[in-house]
Copies of this chain bind each other. A is one copy, B any other.
Amino acid sequence: MSPLKLRDPDAIHCHLRDVERLLSRQRLIENLVQRQPMPQHQLVEHITHRQNLARLRRKLEQLHAADIACILEALPLADRHVVWDLVRADQDGDILLEVSDAVRETLIGTMDADELRAAAKRLDADELADLAPDLPPEVMREVLEALDQEEREHVRAAMSYPEGTVGALMDFDLVQVREDVSLEVVLRYLRRFDALPDHTDKLFVVDRQAHLRGVLTLEALLINDPEVTVATVMQQKTVLSFAPEDAADGAANLFERYDLVSVPVIDSEQRVIGRLTVADVVDYLRETSEAEILNQAGLREEEDIFAPILQSLKNRWAWLAINLVTAFIASRVIGLFEGTIEKLVALAALMPIVAGIGGNAGNQTITMIVRAIAMGQVQPTALWRLLRKELGVALINGIIWGNVIGLLAWWLYDNLKLGLVMVAAMTLNLLLAATAGVTIPLIRQRFGRDPALGGSVLITALTDAGGFLIFLGLATLVLL
């Protein structure tokens, strides 16, 4: 036996290297075919060409859908289409689910209605609901019509919950048992399955009306005497369940806090309607943390790194435009003091330091507060305590770093007053940064908004314009 090991360096890169090797050989062959028009050569190359494609196809057949998705994302468009054409049709649906939105678009663009229908038909209801927004409406309608009544309801249900709720993440793969039977009966019942749903760590115990009565963990099923009834060993008191309209963030927090694998989702009458698994939650967490990092850098969404230039521009322009507006405002603040700068040009050289350090410190504060809010550690009432602390930090930082830079300015320009203005301006801008860093997220939270959204832009804009205003204003008052 040779178990698949991580130390195989290609496993972690989803076997990308093998595929790239076959693809580059493919390109080489195609170049030869084009350059050598002699018929006998053509024939030979044609065979090599087909042999190589067959080898690539065999390689792809051995791979997990998630690996193929990872390969497709890493390939430039031309190669991506070669690989996509070679993938077994019965894997199409799974792969479409795994790739990023941007790459999914490029793949669906190459498929005709028949292929899309075939791919969609192989998916579960919750998966189909995920894919639905990207499918042409007429394909989706036909696929829905081909489903049975119950499945169609499931798809409709899954699509009816907005993004960011438990309902949008849940699946419908349930194993339900009654509480009055013995474990032996449950064991016999399970042997009639060809497979259990992924991530089955517990069975849901329901009554005849599908009301949740408790959960039977596989552990309880396995370690207890088969003669006892489900009711004796099921968990009942501390069963965690979600409603489909619950926030996915909250659910993810609980999965992480209690190390959960699967949780039942129930309706308002305690009837089990679905199930949330750790796999859904991990994907969700990865996506939201990605989104957070991307947004912080001013990207709207994950980018297909091989996307055409126009698409990249679309992904990035909004943020650049906002940044230009705030930079322009800051520039106009400087404009107000052109008379002052004309008289003492050293101010122009020193002012970016004041603005920069304020933005930096403000971002430290706001990041810390936003993280603490996200983890439920901050009540809106904590405002004053946190503000007092952050102002203390800002004051000490202002005095220490302000003096360092103030001394440098004094020494460079041989102007003591300029140095003192520098110390005062840096301290005041740091105090402004701390105030904004604490109040912006807490006020947003109090009004029920996302405390993180756009905080970094806002605080940088404030400390830039504010820094210039404070520094040049003080300079005008003191130095002229």
Contacts and interface: CB of A to CB of B under 8 A. Distances in A.
A208 interface: no
Interface centre among A222, A255, A313, A346 (most CB of B within 10 A): A222
B331 A353 contact: yes
A222 B375 contact: no
A341 interface: yes
A342 interface: yes
Interface string A239-279: 11111001100110111111101000010001000000011
Interface stretch (A51-59, A121-129, A285-293): A285-293
A334 interface: yes
A435 to B, nearest CB: 16
Given A283-B256, A334-B348, A219 B195 contact: yes
B242 A6 contact: yes
Nearest to A190: B222
A196 B212 contact: no
Interface in A192-237: 193-196, 198-201, 212-214, 218-219, 221-225, 236-237
B401 A320 contact: yes
Contacts of A279: 259
A372 B327 CA distance: 29
Contacts of A313: 393, 396-397
A185 interface: no
Interface stretch (A7-15, A106-114, A130-138): A7-15
A464 B1 CA distance: 57
A35 to B, nearest CB: 23
A324 B242 contact: no
A167 B96 CA distance: 34
Contacts of A345: 338, 341-342, 345, 348
Interface in A358-395: 360-361, 363-364, 366-369, 371-372, 375-379, 385-386, 389, 392-393
B222 A357 contact: no
Nearest to A213: B1
Contacts of A250: 6, 12
A348 B341 contact: yes
A349 interface: yes
A238 interface: yes
Interface in A52-107: 64, 66-67, 70, 73-74, 76
Given A7-B243, A70-B257, A321-B401, 16 more contacts: A3-B239, A70-B376, A73-B377, A191-B224, A195-B219, A196-B222, A196-B223, A256-B283, A285-B285, A290-B371, A297-B367, A309-B396, A316-B364, A320-B397, A324-B404, A342-B342
16 contacts: A1-B214, A3-B241, A11-B254, A73-B377, A190-B223, A191-B225, A282-B282, A293-B296, A302-B371, A306-B385, A309-B392, A313-B396, A327-B352, A328-B408, A335-B349, A347-B348
